[in-house]
Amino acid sequence: MHSRRTVLTTAAAAAAAAALGDGPAHAVGPRPAAPSPSPARPPSPATLDRLRRIVARMTPEEKVGQLFVMRVYGHSATAPDPADAAANRKEIGVADAAELIARYRVGGIIYFNWAHNTRDPHQIADLSNGIQEAAAALRVPVPVLISTDQEHGIVARIGAPATLFPGAMALGASGSREDARTAGRIAGQELFAMGIRQDYAPDADVNVNPANPVIGVRSFGADPQAVSRMVAAQVEGYQGAGVAACAKHFPGHGDTDTDSHVGLPYIHHSAQEWERLDAPPFRAAIAAGIDAIMTAHIVVPAFDPSGDPATLSRPILTGILRERLGFDGVVVTDSLGMEGVREKYGDARVPVLALLAGADQLLNPPDLPVAYRAVLQSLADGELSERDIDAKLLRILLLKERRGLFADPYTTHRAVDRVVGTRGHLAVADRIADRTTTLLRNDGGVLPLSRRREGRVLVVGADAAAPSGSGGPPTKVLAQALNGLGFTATALPTGMAPTRAQIDRATAALAERDAVVVATYNVTASSPQRDLVGALLATGKPVVQLAVRNPYDIAQLDGVGVALASYSWTDVELRAAARVIAGRRDPAGRLPVAIMRADAPETALYQIGHGLKY
């Protein structure tokens, strides 16, 4: 089933690849404040010798610690809130980031909003500096590689006042490599200013499965060549700003209907299908000089019949990624706390197997003491060789050297104020967003709405939780944006599973309005959102349906005559959608994925490249 759908989707992708193009070049903001050396430039013999001397000074305990990238609760490296200190003691056995570094010599720390690491840009910068100060105090001082997941769109650990850009699928809808490069460059500048030198982005998965629950709009689209162009552009943008990019999730997470956070997905592509569908974006990332590639907790029987996930598979990580694709950068696992990698082996065995498979960095194990001791014991027993550990460590140190951490790992409030969330950056984000909104259907020319005919607008629908600091909820943001454009708009959230009472309230409110915008979120055949849309259509008032996550909703909504896709519910994309609805901008986005018919899933309702204009 997977293979047949994939072939059909790929045929549609090939037919429309030319329609996606590159898009025009556009004016951008200031150049990076701290550009790094070219990632393609090999290290000098002197650099290699200096880093090897650092490795030679380390004890086995220090070497093993450098392989881990760990979470830690708190807004400060040494004085977290009591609740955060308690969480650290419970999960890690230390009170704060400084103790984590002193005890385990971890080589990396990953920031999360839920771990209270990302309250505001000045605080983030101070936390980063505190972490580096703790590392500088070690017997063998090695700067920490601080990272986060700032994909933009639906995955953003750092919110406003930092600049938030449209996510990957929205950028894919723009078709502009220059926009993708610019978004990566500005995002990289802002991360760099906050002391973050690695972003786990871009997503290099090719989303050929509309039912994919974990990738979806995190992917640039379903056409491998178009995705490859966008991935390479983002790598150039991030790394040109001094921040290590990380393509994920190798060997490709785009054709699954299981979320690897909660289960173990299987990818049933043949070797030939993988080469055609999944490999191109990773090849493009490697050609662009990417610093790191993240593994996927997925089983690919065509490459490894053992049933082991790719993260633990030597045939995949070493045989394919290292040997066939020629990648010599850092291989980092996806989070080792995800169920997809924990199903088959225990938490002590997983990190050892990942290193044996070819991984260099172990990301966020659920129990660091257990994982750390297991790797040390495996090294002592000879299962892991010191020579192999040294090679992994050298790759990690080369990445840190390339990103300037040995020269100067610190930042300042002045750097933050000069770069983060500037008026120029925010304006660029809005201009990029204006090229992403996609008009799928406009029967009767209802759009753009007229202030004279449809001046009183009701905004209803899904109010998904917005990424940290990105604003929301969607109905409120849309209503505010339309009000700012001269309409009289009222928000009435009805949620992702509206009740009969909520539906009745919405239809009653529409009686006093001229038109309604309904925000839909991943509508399925059994979703109550279908009942809401049907009730709104039955009033006879103009109904504008806006898909605020995956663009496939229209296939489930019979009778809808006006449909748009924003690819996310973040403020920057919703404001852009409002400008399209109001006629202040023409819809410029074109579908980067095919939308298949609900009643005939092998037939495209809309092909890749579809997008109407006014």
Active site residues: 261, 334
- Phi, psi at 84, each rounded to 5°: -70, -40
Give me 427's structure tokens.
């304006």
Q: How many helices (H) and strands (E) does the chain have?
A: 22, 18
Is 489 in a helix, a strand, or coil? Answer: strand
CA 578 and chain centroid, separation: 24
Residue with tokens 């291989």: 331
Quick check: 176 and 23 in contact, CB under 8 A? yes
Quick check: 124 and 194 in contact, CB under 8 A? yes
CA end-to-end distance (rounded Å), the chain: 38
H/E element, 452 = none
Strands 155-156, 150-152: pairing kind:
antiparallel
CA 418 and chain centroid, separation: 25
Residue 314 burial (CB < 10 Å; 0-12/13-18/19+)? Answer: middle
Alpha-carbon span 467 to 156, nearest angstrom: 6
Is 574 in a helix, a strand, or coil? Answer: helix
Give me 598's structure tokens.
């609900």
Quick check: 242 and 403 in contact, CB under 8 A? yes
Alpha-carbon span 85 to 470, nearest angstrom: 27
Alpha-carbon span 312 to 318, nearest angstrom: 10
| Cα R_g (the chain), whole angstroms | 24
Alpha-carbon span 173 to 159, nearest angstrom: 23
Alpha-carbon span 411 to 148, nearest angstrom: 17
Residue with tokens 């980067």: 592
Give me 351's structure tokens.
């990190």
Residue with tokens 């955060």: 84
What is the four-CA torsion angle of 18, 2, 154, 442, rounded to 10 degrees?
Answer: 50
Angle between helices 386-402 and 45-57 in degrees, nearest 10: 130
Give me 372's structure tokens.
């750390």
Alpha-carbon span 189 to 157, nearest angstrom: 16
CA 321 and chain centroid, separation: 21
